[in-house]
Structure 1
Amino acid sequence: MAREKRSQELKIAVPSLFRCPISMDVMKSPVSLCTGVTYDRTSIETWLALGHNTCPATMQTLPSTHTTPNLTLRRLINLWISQAQVLEAPPSSPTSAISKQQVAELIEGELNPVSLDKIIGFIKASEDNLKFVAQSCDAISRLVEVFGKADEIRVSELIVEIFYLMARENVVGERLNELILKSTTDCLSSFAFVLRKGSSRSKVKCAEVLEIMALNPKSQLTIAGKPDLMRELCNLLTVTSAAEASFSALSAMSNSRQVKMELIRFGLVARIGEILSSSAARAVNDKALGMLAMIATCTEGRVVIAADEKCVVGIVEKLMKCSGEATENGIRVLWSVCCLGRDTLAQGRVVKVNGLTKVLLVMQSDCSENTKQMCGELVKVLRAKNVKSNLGPYETRTTHITPY
């Protein structure tokens, strides 16, 4: 009875900051919108997938649906949960926590699923524990060495989770990045191994670690030389729960023309066409359009996009149905293909699905001046392609669309 009372007190004592404004449950994966409000990832992704374009708490229109992990809040929640679990445990039950000395011994010994699980539990228990492992060069070096040689998928998955926990710390992330790049073992192939054979959860964490690594220019050059890694990230786009993480990683890697060419070769454009024509979550569509905007900056990319009917049609259909940033990316892709590339086949496909009207609607919306200019050029090209349309004589300088 006393324990039940104590449990109820703990539930009442949950800090309001730890609760998701949508579900009112303690957040498992807190992420922040551009409005500064933090939600649980599952709840806000569900909200956006229903077609909403506002922040649920403030009702502000979202210029972007991009979410940023709230790492500080996540650590505070994990710390609070671990303390709550200790308080809820019967007084007679022995603690399962391990000491720093024991963790050091585990890292120096044989790293297997059992020992790695214990290390992860230790790291998650407190921020101090995280720093203890993360600030040990010997510990990180040992984990990198084992990761590069591991042939057991569970071992690789657990080490990726440790990398994920440590990589969010800026200084530690840089050191981890450096050790992975300098490792005599092939760590990048090990990441590809997890992306290919791991669970969906492990694949997401793997993609997020790679995204952090790719923020370093040196890493981008190294990753560019690992086509198998990019191929697996492209394949990951077919996994619904991992598509957003995969797009984020690919976007971080795609600054060089070499990488863009590899992604085109691996069929990225066709995969994006399938995503845009399906009922994917709004956040995934936003990232898909952002990825296409990057691919469309090279000639080869524009040619492949223009040749993919699902891709072109999907872009038109998503205009004004996604975030403002994604809509502008969609216009940028259409302009690149229809105006810069002057692809007549793509122009015809855009006109066929009422793309001219959509472009006019975007042009009259609250978009950037650069986007308005691209819309104006698109209207001229598409109007010429669709001479029979009632919109043929329509002036692109108007500020509204007259109903017919």
Structure 2
Amino acid sequence: MVLGWRRRTSTGHRAAAAKKHSPAGKLDMEQLVIPNHFLCPISLDLMKDPVTLSSGITYDRQSIDTWLEAGNFKCPVSNQVLRNFDQIPNHTLRTMIQEWCSQNQHYGIQRIPTPRIPIMPVEVSEILFSITASARRVDQTGCLECVHKIKKWAADSERNKRCIVESGAASVLAGAFDAFASDGVQRNATVCEEILSALSWMMFPALDEETQKYLGSHASLDCLVWFLKFDRDLLVKQNSILALKELLSNCSDQNKHVVEALAEIEGVDKMLFDYIKEKSSVTITKASLMVVFYSVSFSEQFRSALLEMDLVSLLLDTILDSEKGISERALGVLDSLCDCKEGREKAYAHALTMPVLVKKILRVSEMATEYSISAVWKLCKNASRQEERVLVEALQAGSFQKLLLVLQVRCADEYHTKEKATELLKLLNPYRAGLECIESVDFKSIRRSF
């Protein structure tokens, strides 16, 4: 493998690397060859940030980072087991590369900029300690300086972001957010906005337990809702609703008190209803639907309040007139509402419920199909004598043929979805005579299982 790499660093490959770093048409490939020691042994590209490992071999920092993060513990060229993972910047080689670029600018070669030195965990720990101390004293100025420094580090590189997250910054910032929110939202709005902005990219893929505790406090929830109600900055609103979504997505029966605390905040149900209705931005609409989804799943108070506002009608309008991601989430909320008698009654009362649900089967995505079939199944299975018309409506909308196709194609949750489709076919079969409807456009581009 090593010999293979070395053979590849021929004139042709060096010229190709040079071409990659220069505008098309400005380089005579026969006149310019990149010196072999300027190329990264892994990527074969001109090194932008050369670093030397304990094995003595120099690589471009981005390439060797990728190699090490993949779980490799040996030097790619020498195959030696690395004594440590320290990466020492090779300033001499970088200066030589920069000088070579400057000398060959007439060929279209752009000078490699001097890279920023990555931060170390000890630096992050010092800043986080200062943030905790500033929050304890409710020192806005001191906290803002530290938060701005963290945001600046994060903007420099993905490596810095990982270092910040791995140092436990999310829980420290969430604790500071809670402290300033407890002291007064309006008085500390600026610092809370900055903390929330820094937290926005740290909350994925999931919040740790301590961060959940701080963001789920009454003071933090009040602050997030206050931003959503009164702040004029769309980005602040977006960060707030995303924080609520991530917070509620970690809720379970053991910690559903977070949803209950949110439901107790005056006007929060009306605010979420309006965000879905207004569609101020795709991100906010999607996040609002997810907050509603988790809320109605864990809080009867929340569910009842939203149903009284005619949430079912709003969801049906949203499903009909929105892009894929929003339709999926709206279908998910509608499916969740059909779990309770009150939600099903509202769905039975709306003339568009069954036509819209059936229409979306096999039309939007596998997830949308799953939610649609689940909602139709709940409505048909729980229909009383007076509500049996929904089975007729389902047949008139073309559900029987679609359900037969669902049994033959792949689904996101194949077992449960096909099980519900089979039960639905049994429920609908007695009403089939003269009521079948087929719309061929619904069956285009179906992903077959064979």
TM-score > 0.5 by shorter chain: yes
Native 8 Å contact 1:273 1:308 kept in 2: no
Measured in 1, the distance between the counterparts of 2:343 and 2:148 equals 47
Native 8 Å contact 1:295 1:302 kept in 2: yes
**1:165-184 to 2 correspondence within 5 Å?**
165-168=201-204, 173-182=208-217
> What is the percentage of aligned positions where both structures have the same residue?
16
Task: Give the counterpart letter for 1:362 in structure 2.
Answer: V
> Are residues 1:296 and 2:330 paired?
no
Matched residue, 1:344: 388
Matched residue, 2:434: 388
> Are residues 1:161 and 2:191 paired?
no
Superposed displacement of residue 118, structure 1: 1.9
Task: Give the counterpart letter for 1:229 in structure 2.
Answer: V
Superposed displacement of residue 348, structure 1: 4.1
Matched residue, 1:188: 221
Superposed displacement of residue 334, structure 1: 0.5
SS in 1 for 2:114: helix
Name which of 315, 321, 338 aligns with 1:272. 315
> Are residues 1:209 and 2:236 paired?
no
Superposed displacement of residue 146, structure 1: 1.6
Q: 1:159 to 1:306 in 2, by over 3 A?
A: farther
Matched residue, 1:71: none
Q: 1:88 to 1:370 in 2, by over 3 A?
A: closer
Name which of 173, 181, 195 aligns with 1:147. 181
Name which of 352, 356, 372 aligns with 2:400. 356
TM-score, with length taken from structure 2: 0.56
Give ranges in structure 2 of 5+ residues lacking alignment. 1-17, 23-44, 50-110, 117-125, 438-450
Alpha-carbon RMSD across the aligned residues, in angstroms, is 4.1
Native 8 Å contact 1:273 1:312 kept in 2: no
TM-score, with length taken from structure 1: 0.61
Native 8 Å contact 2:377 2:424 kept in 1: yes
**1:329-340 to 2 correspondence within 5 Å?**
329-340=371-382
Per-residue Cα deviation, 1:352-379 (whole angstroms, up to 9, x for no partner): 4333333333234334344334334433
Task: Give the counterpart letter for 1:110 in structure 2.
Answer: Q
**1:18-37 to 2 correspondence within 5 Å?**
none
Q: 1:378 to 1:180 in 2, by over 3 A?
A: closer
Name which of 249, 264, 280 aligns with 2:291. 249
Measured in 2, the distance between the counterparts of 1:281 and 1:303 equals 27
SS in 2 for 1:87: coil
**1:58-207 to 2 correspondence within 5 Å?**
87=114, 100=127, 109-110=139-140, 115=145, 118-119=148-149, 121-122=151-152, 124-125=154-155, 126-127=160-161, 128-130=163-165, 134=169, 137=172, 140-148=174-182, 149-151=184-186, 155-168=191-204, 173-182=208-217, 186-198=219-231, 199-207=233-241
Measured in 2, the distance between the counterparts of 1:285 and 1:315 equals 11
Measured in 2, the distance between the counterparts of 1:106 and 1:8 equals 46
Per-residue Cα deviation, 1:31-53 (whole angstroms, up to 9, x for no partner): xxxxxxxxxxxxxxxxxxxxxxx
Structure scoring higher RCO (CA < 8 A, sep ≥ 6) equals 1
Task: Give the counterpart letter for 2:239 in structure 1.
Answer: K
Per-residue Cα deviation, 1:215-250 (whole angstroms, up to 9, x for no partner): 143542232243243443333223241222223333
Task: Give the counterpart letter for 1:118 in structure 2.
Answer: H
Measured in 2, the distance between the counterparts of 1:333 and 1:12 equals 57
Superposed displacement of residue 330, structure 1: 0.8
Native 8 Å contact 2:171 2:210 kept in 1: no
Q: 1:390 to 1:355 in 2, by over 3 A?
A: closer
